[in-house]
Structure 1
C-alpha cells in the first residue's frame, strides 16, 4: 500500500533549530493523526466493522481509491511548545522540496490538505509554485479551500492550476439529546459514548465560578475556573469561546461535575461541535443554549439528563455546506471562480495515528485506530481519490481535463432535491461550493472537457505581470486576458456593459454528437453563446465558442450594485450535462 515515505524539515529547523524528539519524530511517521486520516481517506483499504471511539459511524470503511498506492511526503511538523490541537507548521521550502520529490518519484495525483490564514501572491506561494511544476508533468494537485469560513474572500490555494476543494456534510449525524426537568427535549450532537441514567441538578457555568475569573470568560469553563463545592454532582452549561472544547469537559470533571452541555456562541453559527469528551456531554446551538439558560433562571431546582448518543443515517438535508469552509470571491484574481468543487469534510471517519490521541491534547491518553475529524483537509482527499480513479480510467487525460470532468458533473442539489444550503439553512452559492458537490461516477463520462496546458498557465501568469527567466518561454507583448483562461467556470467582477468570454471544449463522449447551449443567467444580466450548437464527428475534436454576458436594465439589477449574483450555463447532448457556474458583480 505505502510504496514510499520521505520527510522534509530543513526549513523548519532553520527557524526553530533541531527538532524536539518529544514533540515529533525525525522520520515520515505521523505523530499527529492528520496525515493518517487524509491518506486513508484517499486510498485506505476496505475495513469491516470500523468505528470511532465509542462505536460511532460503525460500518465498512474504505478510502476513495482503495487499490491506489500511497507515497508519503511529510513536510509539516509539531509547532514547538504548542498543543498539537492548535495545528502544525509547514514551511515553504519543505513543501517545495516534497513536491519536487513527488514529481521525480512519478506520482499521478497530489493531495495537499494544507491551508493558510491569508492568500499569498502566486510567486510567494510554495504550494502554487510546486503545483505548477507538477502540472507541467501532468500531475493533478488537489488542495484544501481552507477553514476560515464563513467570512468572504477567506480562501486558500487560489491558483487556477489547482483544484480547490470546499467541505460539505454527509447524510449521517450523531445525536445526543438533553432533556430538561420540564420534559423539553433539546437536540444535541456529540460523539461522546457516555450518558446519564437519571436527572441531575443543572447549573450555568457563570453562576459557579471561582472569584477573579474575567467577566467575559465566566461562562466558558476554562481550566481552574469552576468551584467544586458548587459543581459536584451537577451538569454544567458551558459556552464555547476561549480554550479547547475538550478542556471544558475536563474542567467540569475536575470540579466534580457529572455532565457537560456545550453551547455555541453567536460566532459559531448553526454548526454543531462534535467531540469525544471524558464525561457525558453534548453540544447545542446558541439559541438552544439560551433556552437552557432561561430554564435554569426560571426555577430553584433546574435538572436535566444527557441521553445516550447514537449514529443516525440518511439525514436530510445533505449535503449542506460546513460553516467553517472558506468562501470566495477569489482575493487574488476575481476572474477565477474559487473554490472549484465540494466534497464531504464534516465528521469524516478515517484512520488515525496511534501515536496521537483523538483530540490531540496532551492530557488525552486515549488510543484509537479510527476517529471522526472535520475540515477541508478531509474533503480534499475525497476529490484526490476521485482524480486517481479518473486517471486510471483515462490515463491520457490531462490534469485540467480531470478537473473539468469533476467540476462540470458536480451537483447543486441536496437529497431533498432542493438547492444546497449553508449550515444555517440559507441558500449556498458557488462561492461556497464552487461547481457543486462532486459525483465521481458521473465524472468518468463528462461528455466534454475544458482542457488547459502548462503554457496556458504561464500565459495566465503573464497577464498578471509575472515574467520568466526560462529561455524556452517568454511572455508575449499582449498576453491573453485572465478571463479567457479555459476554465470550467466564469467569474466577472464589476460588470459594466458587455463582456465576451472565450472557451474551448474537447469531445470525450460520443464520436458523433451534437450539444445544445442553455443558461440560467445571474439576475440582472443576459447570457448568450455563439455558436449555440456544437457539432462533433470524432472523439478528441475541439470546438470554441464565445459567451456574451450583457448588463441588463436598471430595473432587473436594482439594489444589486457591488453584489455578486450567480447562475450557470451548460451544454447537453441529451446524455451528458456539462454545467459551469457563473458569478457576476456589478460596477
Structure 2
C-alpha cells in the first residue's frame, strides 16, 4: 500500500544516483500522480521511485555555489529524503561507524523533491510558496519540510500559508521545530495545522578517547575517523595559537583564526552541549568545559605537552532524551496551543549523502562518503513524515488533522526528570508508529475550525485571503470556536496569568471513532499539584464507525509563582485503545 503514497520534500535537492532512490521492483507511479521530472543539467532524471524532481529559483539569479537543477550540492535534502523513504541498503556506514542496514521510514513510498533551498541564497518565501503549490497540484500525500520558520504570524509566514493550502487538499505538512534550543519560546513552524517535530536522541553516541602525555585519559564527543599514526602529537590550546585579536574564534579553531606557525598537532574544541557528534576533517573531538580546563592545566604544566586522539567508537547511552539544540516551547505564535507536537530521533542519524560535498563542507576536507551522520530537527522531521505516510497508506481518506491526532495521542510519554522543559521540549512524547496506525479515536478538524481559531486569536479577517484564497472573512459573522482555545486540538495548554485568583480554562473537544464498535472509553485524569482537572462526561460510548462524541475538560489552576510548567493528562481508555492528551499548565516569563 505504501507504493501508492508519494512523499514530497521541500529541501536542498536530491542525489538521483543514490541507491536509496533506485526503482528496482517498483511499477509505474499511482495514476493520480501528475508530477514531472524535467531534463536538467547535471541531473540524471527520475524513475519509478523518484517520481518527481523540480527546482525553484524565481529571482532568476544563479547561485555561484549551487547548480540550477534539482541536484543536491549541500547533502541536506538527500539525507532527509533517504531518512523518509530511502530503499533498504545493507552494510551502510560512515567509514565503519554506525554500521548496519540503512532504510527510510517508508522504503516503499515514492519520492518527489522540490528544491527550494540554495547554498548561498537560502530558502526564499516565493520559492517555498511556488513549491507548495506545485506539490499540491502534483498530488503528493505528505509534505516533509526540514526548514526553519521565523515568523510567528500565521497569515504572513510562507510555510504556514503553504501548509494551510495543503491542509485544504487533505495533505499533511510535517515540519522541523528548529534548532534554537534550549532557549525558551524558540520553537518554529508552530501553526496548529502543521505537525511540529522536536529532536530526540537515540541510544548511540560517538566518543573518542583522548590520552594526554601525562597518562590522563578523557572522553570527547564527535566523529573522528582517523587512526593515529604516531604514539603522541604536540598539543596546543587554540586560543593561544590564534592570531592576535582572534583568540575567541581561535578557541574553536575557526577558519582563518589560527596562526599556521603555531599550529602543528592536535586541536581540541569545547562547547556547552555535547549530545550531537560533529564530524571533523582532522583528528579532533569535542570536550566539555571541565575537561577543557584539565587539558589547559596540563598544557601549561609542561614544556612539551602532547596528546593522542583515538578513532571514534560507538557507545550505548540511555534514550530517548530531547536534544539540547531542539527548539523549546512555549509557542510564540499562540499561548493556547502546545508546541512542539511530538519528538522523533534527530541526533547522529545515518542516511544517504551527496558526492558533491565533503563531509564537513570545509575548505581542504577530502572526506567523501555515500552516507553521513547528521543531527537536527531536520533529521527528526522525516521520521514523523514517514509515520504520516504509513498511516495514510492504511487510511487514504483521513484528513491531515486525523493523521496528526493519531500520531499525537499514541505517542509514548517522555520523562520531565530527564527533560526539564517537559512538554515544551517533547510535546506529546516520542512517536509510536505501530500504535499510531490504529489510534481508536481521533480529534478531527476542517478548514473552518482553523478559521474560527484565528478569529479567536484576534487575527483580522481581512488578512485571511492569503490562506483561504477568497475575499476577507468577517469573523463576527462566524459561529465562534468553542472553549478556551477554540480548536479541537489533541493536546491542551493553559496559560496562568493571574497571580491572585485561580485561572480556569474550559476545553471543548470532539472525538471520532475510528476503531471497533461498539466500544466504551473511560476517562483517567492526571492532575499536577495545585491544579484541578475535571472531564464531563467521564465515559464515551460508540455504537458505530465514524460516530462523534463531545466532552468538556475544565482546568482550574492556582496562581503560580515564577515561570513554571506543570504536566497533566487526560486518557480515554477502552479494552483495545489508549488515547492520551497532555494537559500543560504554565506561567511564562514576564
TM-score category of the 2 structures, normalised to the smaller one: 0.7 to 0.9
Q: How does 1:155-170 map to 2 (within 5 A)?
A: 155-170=187-202
State the distance in 1 between where 2:503 and 2:424 align: 23
> Taking structure 1 as the reference length, what is the TM-score of the superposition?
0.85
Partner of 1:39: 81
State the distance in 2 between where 1:104 and 1:209 align: 54
State the distance in 1 between where 2:419 and 2:511 align: 34
Structure 2 residue matching 1:353: 3-state secondary structure: coil
Partner of 1:296: 299
Is residue 322 of structure 2 the alignment partner of residue 325 of structure 1? no
Partner of 2:56: 8
Report the CA distance between 1:493 and its aligned residue: 0.9
Partner of 2:375: 374
Report the CA distance between 1:270 and its aligned residue: 4.2
State the distance in 2 between where 1:108 and 1:369 align: 28
Q: How does 1:82-481 map to 2 (within 5 A)?
A: 89-116=122-149, 118-196=150-228, 197-210=230-243, 212-228=244-260, 230=262, 255-257=263-265, 259-264=266-271, 268-277=272-281, 279-312=282-315, 315-413=316-414, 419=415, 426-463=419-456, 464-467=458-461, 468=464, 470=470, 474-477=474-477, 479-480=480-481
Cα distance change of structure 1 residues 288 and 426 upon mapping to structure 2, 3 Å threshold? farther
Is residue 108 of structure 2 the alignment partner of residue 64 of structure 1? no
Cα distance change of structure 1 residues 216 and 73 upon mapping to structure 2, 3 Å threshold? closer
> Which segment drifts farther, 39-48 or 195-204?
195-204
Partner of 1:483: 485
> Which segment drifts farther, 474-483 or 96-105?
474-483
Report the CA distance between 1:140 and its aligned residue: 0.7
Contact 1:321/1:420 (CA < 8 Å) preserved in 2? no
Report the CA distance between 1:546 and its aligned residue: 0.4
Contact 2:505/2:554 (CA < 8 Å) preserved in 1? yes
Partner of 2:37: none
Contact 1:523/1:566 (CA < 8 Å) preserved in 2? no
State the distance in 2 between where 1:578 and 1:193 align: 45
Partner of 2:20: none
Partner of 2:10: none
Structure 2 residue matching 1:152: 3-state secondary structure: coil
Contact 1:321/1:428 (CA < 8 Å) preserved in 2? no
Report the CA distance between 1:190 and its aligned residue: 2.1
Structure 1 residue matching 2:251: 3-state secondary structure: coil
Partner of 2:566: 565
Post-superposition Cα deviations, 1:208-259, rounded to whole Å, max 9, x if no partner, equal 444x2345445333445445555xxxxxxxxxxxxxxxxxxxxxxxx332x2
Post-superposition Cα deviations, 1:257-306, rounded to whole Å, max 9, x if no partner, equal 2x232222xxx3343542132x3222112222122222333444543221
Report the CA distance between 1:489 and its aligned residue: 0.5
Structure 2 residue matching 1:177: 3-state secondary structure: strand
State the distance in 2 between where 1:90 and 1:486 align: 32
State the distance in 1 between where 2:413 and 2:421 align: 9
> Which segment drifts farther, 155-164 or 486-495?
486-495
Post-superposition Cα deviations, 1:294-340, rounded to whole Å, max 9, x if no partner, equal 2333444543221232223xx23111111111111011111010000
Unaligned runs of 5+ residues in structure 1 are 81-88, 231-254, 414-418
Report the CA distance between 1:362 and its aligned residue: 4.1
Partner of 2:7: none
Partner of 1:248: none
State the distance in 2 between where 1:301 and 1:484 align: 68
Contact 2:439/2:579 (CA < 8 Å) preserved in 1? yes
Q: How does 1:21-36 map to 2 (within 5 A)?
A: 22-36=64-78
Report the CA distance between 1:123 and its aligned residue: 1.1
Report the CA distance between 1:572 and its aligned residue: 0.9
Contact 2:198/2:327 (CA < 8 Å) preserved in 1? yes
Report the CA distance between 1:396 and its aligned residue: 2.1
Partner of 1:249: none
Structure 1 residue matching 2:300: 3-state secondary structure: helix
State the distance in 1 between where 2:530 and 2:416 align: 22
Partner of 1:250: none
Contact 2:185/2:328 (CA < 8 Å) preserved in 1? yes
Partner of 1:526: 532
Contact 2:453/2:485 (CA < 8 Å) preserved in 1? no
Cα distance change of structure 1 residues 133 and 220 upon mapping to structure 2, 3 Å threshold? closer
State the distance in 1 between where 2:156 and 2:318 align: 40
State the distance in 1 between where 2:396 and 2:358 align: 39
Post-superposition Cα deviations, 1:170-190, rounded to whole Å, max 9, x if no partner, equal 111112111223433212122
Post-superposition Cα deviations, 1:41-98, rounded to whole Å, max 9, x if no partner, equal 110000001112x221111000000000011111111225xxxxxxxx1111111111
Structure 1 residue matching 2:326: 3-state secondary structure: coil
> Taking structure 2 as the reference length, what is the TM-score of the superposition?
0.84
